């Protein structure tokens, strides 16, 4: 390879939502960008084994529950059968289409892709080891976007067969009879719902006293009640302590219950969804002096600069919520900053979503966080059951909470449990982004009939004037 073929303005390491979006924005801004990815396809965790395949499975199983559990009441009946291989094939096709689409975008913008494992080699150099050997690349800026991987429990290492990470839980070839999900966060609740809808008995074991602990207790409580009705079984304040072999290839988990009592769970499959850890090993970081924090994330300043000049980091690899849209926004902001523009991420306005049915979505502060930040708040509530569209679409479970500062009415946070909450939250994000008030949100026209009207009504309720509830 000639020097021209290995010299770039920027090298981006990792082609997930952080890395590939940063590369695209850099190319838009006229930079020569190399994108290094060890997977054969682009798109990272999110497109290959995360956001997209999980949402495809959630959708397929929502089609199933709509027909099987609610069909008769619409005059739709008959035998419903699940063909798991076809359901998985649909998911795989969605993933293939999207990762192919990213490749087209990247190629179309003139970004050079290197397939292989990259590591810093000092002085703006990156060594890429691929199937075709080694190549040494050079650039003025190196952007680390190597993402994250599932965390293992020390006494329960992943074996890909019985003890699963989400990578395997999105690709099972048979429906398990009994599944235990350890961890009731986004991934546990989403994948637990998928397999429960498909017919598995699912026990969700959570160390904390509530599920969906990233949200306010009121939201967790409402969500738990709904998911229990659907058939998920929750064991909160329960700590899994060990595992042994059971009958017929099953595993027996031992646990300590809320009162210190001994519990045990038998399962054909155990999904360990207790969090994700940054991929900061094997990148030559220590050798060149890139500092890590106590969680092995790359330390960055407010401009994504690491402790080594010319080396930057974004996405799951650095502090902050491990979310695809956070990684993307950081990718764009960094690209713009490196090109001399004023790229910026408003971390307060990053929505957080769990894609169960109903979905859970929030932006800004929850009630507890708002009070901790020193705000006196007024909260408007609106039950989804009072929304016309919800009634017409079998989506009556849930509520909306709108928190505003008691003296200024500034919108501080919105929390939603509802079908389509992931879409409904967008208007709240926009108001928070612009520094709007609950009054602004309440006066924004929301189309009728939509579930989003519940957001407007909850904003009206901040001032005690919701129109469609008493």
Identify the H or E element spanning 127: strand 125-130
Site residues for ligand FAD, 425-464, by CB under 6 A, read none
How, if at all, do strands 133-144 and 311-313 pair?
parallel
| Per CB under 6 A, 126 contacts ligand FAD | no
Minimum CB distance to ligand FAD, residue 122 (Å): 16
Minimum CB distance to ligand FAD, residue 455 (Å): 20
Site residues for ligand FAD, 159-178, by CB under 6 A, read 166
Q: How many residues bind to ligand FAD according to rule CB under 6 A?
A: 37
Binding mask 187-216 toward ligand FAD (x if CB under 6 A, else -) reads x-----------------------------
| Per CB under 6 A, 279 contacts ligand FAD | yes
Please, is 48 exposed, middle or buried when counting C-beta atoms within 10 Å of its C-beta (0-12, 13-18, 19+)?
buried
| Per CB under 6 A, 325 contacts ligand FAD | yes
Distance CA 45, CA 39 (A): 10
DSSP 229-245: HHT-EEE-S-EEEEEEE
Catalytic site residue 431?
Answer: no
Q: How far is CA 190 from CA 54, 59, 334, 385, in A?
A: 7, 11, 31, 23
Which residue from 26, 147, 183, 358 is in contact with ligand FAD, where contact means CB under 6 A? 147
Site residues for ligand FAD, 61-120, by CB under 6 A, read 117-118
CB 368 within 8 A of CB 217: yes
How, if at all, do strands 201-205 and 276-278 pair?
unpaired
Which residue from 324, 390, 441, 460 is in contact with ligand FAD, where contact means CB under 6 A? 324
Site residues for ligand FAD, 347-376, by CB under 6 A, read 355
Distance CA 401, CA 378 (A): 10
| Per CB under 6 A, 185 contacts ligand FAD | no
206 or 329: whose CB is closer to ligand FAD? 329
CB 359 within 8 A of CB 353: yes
Geometric angle at alpha carbon 324, from 322 and 325, rounded to 5°:
110
Q: Identify the active-site residue in 90, 446, 448, 468.
A: 448
CB 165 within 8 A of CB 191: no
Distance CA 422, CA 357 (A): 11
186 or 367: whose CB is closer to ligand FAD? 186
| Per CB under 6 A, 44 contacts ligand FAD | yes
Catalytic residue IDs: 448
Contacts with ligand FAD by CB under 6 A lie at 13-19, 36-39, 44-46, 50-51, 54, 117-118, 145-148, 166, 187, 279, 282-283, 315-317, 322-325, 327, 355
């Amino acid at each position: 390879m000639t020097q021209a073929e290995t010299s770039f303005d920027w090298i981006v390491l990792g082609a997930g939502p952080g890395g590939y979006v940063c590369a695209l924005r850099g190319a838009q801004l006229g930079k020569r960008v190399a994108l290094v990815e060890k997977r054969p396809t682009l798109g990272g965790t999110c497109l290959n084994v995360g956001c997209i395949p999980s949402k495809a499975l959630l959708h397929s199983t929502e089609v199933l529950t709509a027909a099987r559990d609610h069909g008769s009441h619409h005059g739709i009946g008959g035998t419903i059968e699940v063909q798991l291989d076809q359901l998985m094939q649909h998911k795989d096709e969605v993933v293939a289409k999207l990762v192919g689409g990213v490749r087209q975008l990247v190629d179309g913008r003139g970004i050079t892709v290197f397939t292989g494992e990259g590591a810093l080699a000092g002085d703006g150099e990156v060594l890429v080891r691929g199937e075709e050997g080694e190549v040494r690349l050079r650039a003025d800026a190196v952007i680390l976007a190597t993402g994250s991987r599932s965390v293992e429990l020390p006494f329960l290492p992943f074996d890909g067969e019985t003890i699963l990470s989400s990578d395997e839980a999105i690709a099972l070839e048979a429906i398990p009879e009994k599944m235990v999900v350890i961890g009731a966060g986004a991934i546990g609740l989403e994948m637990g719902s998928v397999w429960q809808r498909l017919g598995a008995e699912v026990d969700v074991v959570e160390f904390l006293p509530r599920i969906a602990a990233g949200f306010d207790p009121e939201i967790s409580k409402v969500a738990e009640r709904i998911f229990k009705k659907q058939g998920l079984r929750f064991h909160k304040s329960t700590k899994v302590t060990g595992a042994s072999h059971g009958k017929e290839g099953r595993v027996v988990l031992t646990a300590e219950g809320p009162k210190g009592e001994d519990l045990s769970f038998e399962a054909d499959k155990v999904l360990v969804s207790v969090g994700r850890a940054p991929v900061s090993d094997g990148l030559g970081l220590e050798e060149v002096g890139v500092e890590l924090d106590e969680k092995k994330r790359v330390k960055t300043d407010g401009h994504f600069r690491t402790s080594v000049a010319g080396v930057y980091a974004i996405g799951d690899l650095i502090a902050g919520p491990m979310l695809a849209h956070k990684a993307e926004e950081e990718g764009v902001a960094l690209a713009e900053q490196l090109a001399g523009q004023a790229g910026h991420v408003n971390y307060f306005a990053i929505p957080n979503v769990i894609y169960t049915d109903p979905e859970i979505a929030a932006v800004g502060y929850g009630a507890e966080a708002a009070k901790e930040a020193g705000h006196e708040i007024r909260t408007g509530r609106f039950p989804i059951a009072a929304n016309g569209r919800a009634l017409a679409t079998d989506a009556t479970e849930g509520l909306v909470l709108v928190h505003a500062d008691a003296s200024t009415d500034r919108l501080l946070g919105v929390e939603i449990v509802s079908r389509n909450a992931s879409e409904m939250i967008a208007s709240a994000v926009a108001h928070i982004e612009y520094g709007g008030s609950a009054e602004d949100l309440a006066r924004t026209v929301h189309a009728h009939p939509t579930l989003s009207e519940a957001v407007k009504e909850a904003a009206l309720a901040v001032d005690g004037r919701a129109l469609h509830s008493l």
